[in-house]
Structure 1
Amino acid sequence: MGGDYIDVIIFAAIAAFLVFRLVSVLGKRTGEEQPRDPFGMARGGDMAQGPDNPSENVVPLPGTEKPDEVTESVSPLAEALGQIQAADRTFEPGEFLNGARGAFEMVITSFALGDSNTLKALLSDAVFANFENAITQRERAGETQETTLVGIDTAEIIEANLAHTIAQVTVKFISQQISVTRNEAGDVQDGDPDLVNQVTDIWTFARDTRSKDPNWQLVETRSSN
């Protein structure tokens, strides 16, 4: 009987000791309580533990003091694009730029080939008249134009506006081109067939947002070269 009582005391003491150890371990901060930084691996592994107050090691840069209040402003370009999107639910700037790139290549190539039919479908009447006149003068002089569009480096929307139902979007193209003009004998009159030139063109496209025709027309061309 007495032996059983002693055994109970021993087991109770062991249980108390185990509970004490468990509490001491659970009560410790092992550094694993906070979730891991999901970007830590991209930065080269876990970051070293910083000070209790992270702001202690922050050095403010000039002009980055805390503002009294933060206000969000919308640029005129973004506002204009938003107006076009409101008038034409199918308009999306990224898709528009893809189409503008394709139109740019077609116009450059068609003008060099003297392909008036293709140009007429892509250009407004006024712009087409200018292109057609240049092609006619070139043919009368017995000259041919060779233009190779090596690539389009950038295509960026720089202006946009909506006047009533007419949307206009201006794109700045920076491209690499090889351009050569040859005479009737095939000799080079202008340009260099081995020289790649960087060319900057600024083109304005327009479309009536009420029209069922989804295509945009080139209504103005400028060049900054």
Structure 2
Amino acid sequence: MFDDVTTIIFLVLAVVIFLRLRSVLGRRTGHERPPFDPYSSQERENGNGPSATGDDNVIPLPGQGGPQGEAAPATSSATLDKVAPEGSALNDALRQILSVDRSFDPQGFLQGARGAYEMIVSAFAAGDRKTLKNLLSKDVYEGFVAAISDRESRGETIESTFVGIEKADIVEAALKGSTAQVTVRFRSELISATRDRDGAIVDGDPNAVSEVTDIWTFARDTNSRDPNWRLVATESVE
């Protein structure tokens, strides 16, 4: 009888311990894997993306290499000519960038820039300084943070919905020393309204879609092992 009671006690303890372990180890916390980064999916598939370095909010140069460190295929002239007409100044500038970095892919870059644009616009509206810091150059980051702080000091908040990007085109490129710069014109649709501390609308319309045109310049040091592009200049077009 004593042995039977002891066995039952140990079984109960084992079940209790198992349930406690399961409640901790088996519980989903939302941090099991990094959030999807729309402009670095290619690098993550190849094992060279931000998830390997712990930096999720970055703009990696497309085509940094394939599995087992294989070099990415060079961008073809036909692919480049789809982005900029052959013989144009833009085409020549993109070829200069390709001459120092054969993995540069203008079409892949545009895809990444679209994702970065949406992330930056949304982060600015939300006052998300952490996300912005990883995506912007020091000067641009300081400007964005100053605007956010000014907004917060007045007790204002932005309600923003990113509808989508209608069009994104590379309009300018340059190689300045070892630094590649690529400028993109974005035409997007947003729903945005700014409210004061009492909830009254002071700017925008929460029920109207507005068309916005921005010209943003991204840069990267091609000599650096850091594959990330950052926003270095912004311009809004009325």
Q: TM-score, normalised by structure 2?
A: 0.63
* Aligned pair partner of 2:140 in 127, 134, 153: 127
Larger radius of gyration: 1
* Aligned pair partner of 2:185 in 164, 172, 176: 172
Runs of 4+ in structure 1 deviating by more than 6 angstroms, as ranges, are: none
The change in CA–CA distance for 1:212 and 1:200 in structure 2 (over 3 A counts) is same
**1:222 maps to what in 2?**
235
Partner SS state of residue 165, structure 2: strand
Do residues 205 (structure 1) and 224 (structure 2) align? no
Letter in 2 for 1:168: Q
Following superposition, the deviation at residue 209 of structure 1 comes to 0.5
Looking at structure 2, the residues matched to 106 and 150 of structure 1 have their Cα atoms a distance apart, in angstroms, of 12
Letter in 2 for 1:146: E
Looking at structure 2, the residues matched to 88 and 149 of structure 1 have their Cα atoms a distance apart, in angstroms, of 33
Do residues 195 (structure 1) and 184 (structure 2) align? no
Following superposition, the deviation at residue 179 of structure 1 comes to 1.2
**1:186 maps to what in 2?**
199
Superposed CA deviations along residues 174-225 of structure 1, whole A, max 9, x for unmatched, are 0011111011122211110011011000000000001111110000000111
Do residues 82 (structure 1) and 95 (structure 2) align? yes
**1:35 maps to what in 2?**
none
Contact 1:108–1:147 under 8 Å retained in 2:
no
Following superposition, the deviation at residue 74 of structure 1 comes to 1.0
Q: Which has the higher contact order (CA 8 A, sep 6+)?
A: 2
Looking at structure 1, the residues matched to 133 and 236 of structure 2 have their Cα atoms a distance apart, in angstroms, of 21
**2:159 maps to what in 1?**
146
**2:174 maps to what in 1?**
161
Following superposition, the deviation at residue 145 of structure 1 comes to 1.1
Partner SS state of residue 206, structure 2: coil
Residues 98-137 of structure 1 aligned to structure 2 (within 5 Å): 98-137=111-150
**2:40 maps to what in 1?**
none
Superposed CA deviations along residues 29-49 of structure 1, whole A, max 9, x for unmatched, are xxxxxxxxxxxxxxxxxxxxx
Partner SS state of residue 111, structure 2: helix
Letter in 2 for 1:132: V
Where structure 1 has 5 or more consecutive residues not aligned to the other structure, the ranges are 1-71
Looking at structure 1, the residues matched to 103 and 126 of structure 2 have their Cα atoms a distance apart, in angstroms, of 33
Partner SS state of residue 216, structure 1: strand
Following superposition, the deviation at residue 85 of structure 1 comes to 1.1
Looking at structure 2, the residues matched to 214 and 102 of structure 1 have their Cα atoms a distance apart, in angstroms, of 16
Looking at structure 2, the residues matched to 215 and 106 of structure 1 have their Cα atoms a distance apart, in angstroms, of 15
Partner SS state of residue 144, structure 2: helix
RMSD of aligned C-alpha atoms?
1.2
The number of equivalent residue pairs is 154
Q: TM-score, normalised by structure 1?
A: 0.67
Looking at structure 1, the residues matched to 93 and 86 of structure 2 have their Cα atoms a distance apart, in angstroms, of 14
Looking at structure 2, the residues matched to 206 and 110 of structure 1 have their Cα atoms a distance apart, in angstroms, of 20
